[in-house]
Every structure is written in C-alpha cells, then in structure tokens.
C-alpha cells in the first residue's frame, strides 16, 4: 500500500544552486520535525553545526527533532539502516529528504529507491525538488545537459538568487524553466526560505483524492490541440479522439527535451494500456524524464494516477472520488533526445481499436 510507505523527497540542483542554504533553513524550521535527511558528507555540504545537538558516527540528531545522516557512497545501505531503525523504534521520522551532490543525476538514485525490493517496501517517491539559480542558471543550462535534465525531472522548481537579477531576467529565466518542465510548479525562495509544506506531498495524489485534483497534478500548461497528422490518422481508422500538445523548447541543450501532453476521450482498454506502458518503459524508459497521467480504464468507475521518473514508475494509485463530468484520460510525457513525433506516435497507440484484445 502506497500510503504506508515513507515518502521520499529528492533535493537536487546544480553546483552552488543553494541546496545547502535551503536545507539549513528547513532544518531550523520547527515544521521539519520528524524528517530524516540524507546528505553526502556533513563536511562537504557545510551544514550548520549549531543545529546539531547529539552526534554518532553517521547520524546526528538536530534541535528541530530531525535526524541527519551522511551517505558514504552507499545510499541503499543508509536507507535500509534508517528504515530498520524506524522499525526498531530507535529512529522516529515520517519522511526522508535526500540531498544529492551538485552533479548527481537523480535518475539512478530514484532507480535504487524504487527497484530494490526491500527499499521499495519501505519507501515511496514523493517528489523531486530542483533548485535553479536565477543568477548563474541561464549559463549553467547552456553549458551542460545534466542541469537541463535536473530541471526536466522536477515536480517543484525552487528558484534561488532572484535577488541578484532584474525582474525581467527573472521572468525570462522562469519562462525558460517552464519550457523545460511544463508540469513543474515554481516558487521563488530568498536564501532558502520556504515553508517545509511547500516541498512535500508533490507526488502521486492520494487514494482519497478526487480526479479533479489529479488533473491539476498532471497539469498540462496549454490547451491541447489536435495534431493534423494524427487527426487524419484517427479519422481514417475510425479511432476515437485524442488531442495533443507538443512543446519543443527553444535554445541549445533545451532542444534535447521534448514534452507532449495528450487527452484521450474514451476510457482505455486495460490490456491495451498495460502493453502500451510496458513497451514505453522497455523501449524508451531511459529517455523518459517524467511521466504523469490520470487514466480512465474501461469498466472502472474511478481513474488511476500514475507517476514515473525516468524508467521508474510508482504503482498506479486508484483515486477514490471521481467528480461528475468527463472520463478523459490525461498523459504528460517529458522525454530527452526523442525525435519529433516519437512521443506522439506512442500516445496514438492508445487510440488503437481494442477489439483484437477482447
């Protein structure tokens, strides 16, 4: 059951983006109590040691009630230790925050988290928070693809160092970020000052959520409009309607990211959906940076929310309440290095006639 597992928030962002500043501000906040934090090395991240009141070799207890734990190369072991201690009652926490080092690709971390079966039983992915430095961010995004990928994977982008740029430069940077990660929420934080609540609960809608909330979570930024080629294809084959929005992004490394959103008008045959998602993961998994969907299946009264980061997909969550109105599925995929049309083609498969599967 998704609800019983410990939610994990990944804090990422390029070198110097302000991760430690954010973490220090969070740890000083009483609202962060009962949160365990995994960082690389205490020394490396320059955590504010005044906050630390008790220390063991690899774990410290902070005044706020948080625990802080250094990862020395083996994230899996550190996470298993933490969940063991929690089970044994020697560590009390309800959430885990992992701070990655500046260059780390969160993909393998999330993979570890959700594919190692012991860990997957104890933890679930809650969200990816990416810090984006308004002062150096534009140049960083131009220089390296890792920084662009970190933005594309985000559920929430915390824009830092806004005080160092003009309002116009900030607005242009935020527009660029929106182009790379159209489904991510953005907040601007001065020197790491954010309410802890803003960073949590970013992942899958809960079982008791209504479909309307999940729709906001999937949140395509623009109104989908039919692609002419697919509309023709659909009408030729008597398929039911799907509408697409494709958003290639301007400029250099950003061009490697493509996002596509689709609405599918009719409930989808479960067998077809399973084949589609398995094929998508097998063929395109490593190139999918984010996947979010609200899916209506044939014969079901409620929709499912599905969430993936790279080739790691959390189990679908069936939503309890479906407010009246349509039964349209919504899918957003953000991929890298995918030729134009590839994502649209895979989504068009969902509109195939389902008679062959019955």
Ligand X SMILES: Nc1nc2c(ncn2[C@@H]2O[C@H](COP(=O)(O)OP(=O)(O)OP(=O)(O)O)[C@@H](O)[C@H]2O)c(=O)[nH]1
Residues that bind ligand X (CB under 6 A): 13, 15-21, 45, 102, 160-161, 163-164, 190-192
Q: In what order do the strands lie in the sheet with 156-160?
A: 52-55, 59-62, 67-70, 35-39, 95-99, 6-13, 123-133, 156-160, 185-188
DSSP 112-167: HHHHSHHHHHHEEEEEEEEEEETTTHHHHHHH-HHHHHHHHT-SEEEEE-GGGS-H
| CB closer to ligand X, 20 vs 245 | 20
| CB closer to ligand X, 39 vs 78 | 39
Closest distance to ligand X from the beta carbon of 174 (Å): 15
Residue 302 DSSP class: S
Strand ranges, E, within the chain: 6-13, 35-39, 52-55, 59-62, 67-70, 95-99, 123-133, 156-160, 185-188, 242-248, 257-264, 288-295, 304-309, 312-313, 317-318, 329-336
> Taking Cα atoms as reference points, which of 270, 247, 281, 272 lies closest to residue 349?
272
Instruction: Give the C-alpha separation, 146 to 323, whole Å.
Output: 40
* E strand or H helix that includes residue 207: none
| CB closer to ligand X, 102 vs 138 | 102
Closest distance to ligand X from the beta carbon of 20 (Å): 3
Closest distance to ligand X from the beta carbon of 22 (Å): 7
Closest distance to ligand X from the beta carbon of 151 (Å): 14
| CB closer to ligand X, 118 vs 164 | 164
- Positive or negative: CA dihedral 178, 219, 332, 290: positive
Closest distance to ligand X from the beta carbon of 150 (Å): 11
Instruction: Give the C-alpha separation, 164 to 311, whole Å.
Output: 37
Closest distance to ligand X from the beta carbon of 147 (Å): 11
Closest distance to ligand X from the beta carbon of 168 (Å): 18
| CB closer to ligand X, 161 vs 307 | 161
User: Dihedral through CA 279, CA 201, CA 205, CA 173, nearest 10?
Assistant: -60
| CB closer to ligand X, 48 vs 207 | 48
Closest distance to ligand X from the beta carbon of 94 (Å): 24
- 87 HSE (CA, 13 A, CB side): 11
Instruction: Give the C-alpha separation, 358 to 356, whole Å.
Output: 6
| CB closer to ligand X, 187 vs 320 | 187
| CB closer to ligand X, 177 vs 312 | 177
């Amino acid at each position: 059951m998704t609800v019983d597992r410990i939610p994990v928030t990944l804090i990422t962002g390029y070198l110097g983006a302000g991760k430690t500043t954010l973490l220090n501000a969070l740890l000083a906040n009483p609202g962060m109590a009962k949160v365990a934090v995994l960082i690389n090395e205490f020394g490396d991240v320059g955590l504010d040691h005044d906050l630390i009141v008790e220390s063991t070799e690899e774990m410290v207890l902070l005044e706020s009630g948080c625990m802080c734990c250094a990862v020395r190369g083996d994230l899996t072991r550190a996470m298993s230790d933490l969940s063991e201690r929690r089970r044994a009652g020697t560590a009390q926490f309800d959430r885990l925050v992992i701070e990655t080092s500046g260059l780390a690709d969160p993909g393998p971390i999330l993979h570890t988290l959700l594919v190692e079966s012991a860990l997957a039983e104890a933890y679930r992915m809650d969200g990816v928070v990416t810090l984006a430095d308004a002062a150096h961010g534009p140049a960083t995004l131009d220089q390296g693809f890792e920084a662009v990928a970190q933005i594309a994977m985000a559920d929430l982008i915390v824009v830092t160092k806004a005080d160092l740029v003009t309002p116009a430069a900030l607005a242009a940077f935020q527009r660029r970020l929106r182009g790379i990660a159209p489904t991510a929420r953005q907040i601007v934080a001065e020197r790491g000052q954010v309410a802890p609540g803003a960073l949590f609960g970013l992942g899958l809608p809960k079982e008791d959520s209504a479909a309307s909330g999940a729709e906001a979570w999937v949140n395509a930024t623009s109104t989908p409009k039919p692609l002419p080629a697919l509309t023709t294809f659909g009408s030729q084959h008597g398929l039911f309607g799907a509408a697409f929005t494709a958003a290639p992004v301007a400029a250099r490394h950003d061009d490697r990211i493509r996002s596509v959103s689709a609405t599918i008008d009719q409930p989808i045959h479960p067998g077809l959906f399973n084949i589609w998602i398995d094929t998508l993961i097998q063929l395109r998994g490593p190139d999918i940076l984010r996947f979010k969907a609200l899916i209506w299946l044939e014969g079901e009264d409620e929709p499912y929310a599905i969430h993936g980061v790279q080739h790691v997909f959390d189990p679908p969550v069936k939503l309890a309440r479906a407010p009246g109105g349509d039964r349209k599925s919504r899918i957003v995929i953000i991929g890298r290095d995918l030729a134009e049309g590839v994502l649209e083609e895979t989504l068009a498969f969902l509109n195939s006639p389902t008679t062959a599967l019955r």
